[in-house]
Structure 1
Amino acid sequence: MIRIAIIGSGGSGKSTLARKMGDKLNLEVWHLDRLLWKPNWQLTTREEQREIQNELIAKDKWIIDGNYTRTLDIRLNAADTILFLDISKVICVTRVVKRMIKFRNSTRPDMNEGCNEKIDLRFIKWVWKFPKTQRPYILTKLEQLSTNKEIIVLKSPKEIQRFLDNL
């Protein structure tokens, strides 16, 4: 467990888990939100996203958190361990709203400077629809991976905590 990809809906706890795992395992953590968003919420081009992620996976050891389904294969193919946080949409939306309120008009720790948190109804709707729109795609991708990868699906905050406790 030295090349770890953490995926899941917004609000599922990817960044928090990545930080905690990085501390426990002494691995460098890379938050894709911090790397792929430019100030004022300008998303990097798909080509830039691929370049950035190819540089990250070239490293010997890492934890990368983020969904970004258009470049998901880069991380999944390079990882030896994949954690899919398959958390209830109610929990995820609640967490996203709390995060938007807590960091409103400031930048949260896992985000690039200049991307101040704001109430974003489009993102909230995306998180709510994630189980129907994104989850099936992710599960199909995980099924297609080679058997030499450890794939861990965590379905609740308690399961995440137990996983961390057992690291």
Structure 2
Amino acid sequence: MNRIALIGSGGAGKSTLAMELGKILGIEVWHLDAILWKPNWVLTPREEQKQIQSQLVSKGSWIIDGNYQSTLDMRLEQADTIIFLDMPRTLCLYRVLKRRLMYHNRSRPDMQKDCKEKIDWQFLKWIWDFPKRRRPQMQHKLADLTMDKQIITLKSPKEVKRFLADIRDRL
């Protein structure tokens, strides 16, 4: 595992898992939210997003967390390991609401400095709709990947803990 793409719903735990894996494996972690959102929640233009991610995936090793559908294929093609956090939507919603309370009026560690934590109905709806709308798209993309990729689907916090323990045991 040298090039790891982490995908899944908002609130699934992508950033937390990315940071843990980075510590264990000694691989640099890149949070797409922190890179692609400029201060005050201004999204980087799509062409610039592609350039940034093209530079990231050309590195020898990386952990990148985030979905960003328009550039997902680029990361999936270059990754040797894809981890899909397929968590229950109620857990994802709970975590997003908890995160909002924890980081009220400030930016969380995996975000751009001047992007104070916020929630809107559109984001909550995206999380709620993820299992029916986004999950099938992601599963289809993963099924189409070449056999040389390691694809790991984790469906619960227990599975994530077990996965991390297994990696620690192998090192």
* TM interval, short-chain normalised: over 0.9
Aligned to 1:107: 107
Amino acid at match of 1:46: R
Corresponding position of 2:12: 12
Matched, 1:67 2:67: yes
| Counterpart check, 1:55 vs 2:55 | yes
- Aligned residue identity for 1:51: Q
Give the secondary structure class of the aligned counterpart of 2:153. Answer: strand
Aligned residue in 1 for 2:97: 97
Matches within 5 A, 1:3-42: 3-42=3-42
Residue 157 (str. 1) matches residue 157 (str. 2): yes
* Superposition TM-score, scaled by structure 2 size: 0.96
After TM superposition, give the deviation of residue 144 of structure 1 in Å: 0.4
Residue 145 of structure 1 pairs with residue 145 of structure 2 = yes
1:152 to partner: Cα distance? 0.3
RMSD between aligned alpha carbons?
0.6
* Alpha-carbon distance, 1:89 to partner: 0.1
Equivalent AA in structure 2 for residue 148 of structure 1: D
Aligned length: 167
State the 1:119 CA deviation.
3.0
Q: Which amino acid aligns with 2:63?
A: I
% identity of equivalent residues:
58
User: Shift of the alpha carbon at 1:133?
Assistant: 1.1
Per the TM alignment, residue 160 of structure 1 is displaced from its structure 2 partner at its CA by 0.5
| 2:151 partner amino acid | I
Q: Structure 1 residue 78: deviation in Å?
A: 0.2
Offset at 1:69? 1.2
Kindly indicate whether residue 102 of structure 2 is the aligned counterpart of residue 80 of structure 1: no
Give the 4+ runs in structure 1 shifted more than 3 A.
Answer: none
User: Which residue identity does 2:11 align to in structure 1?
Assistant: G
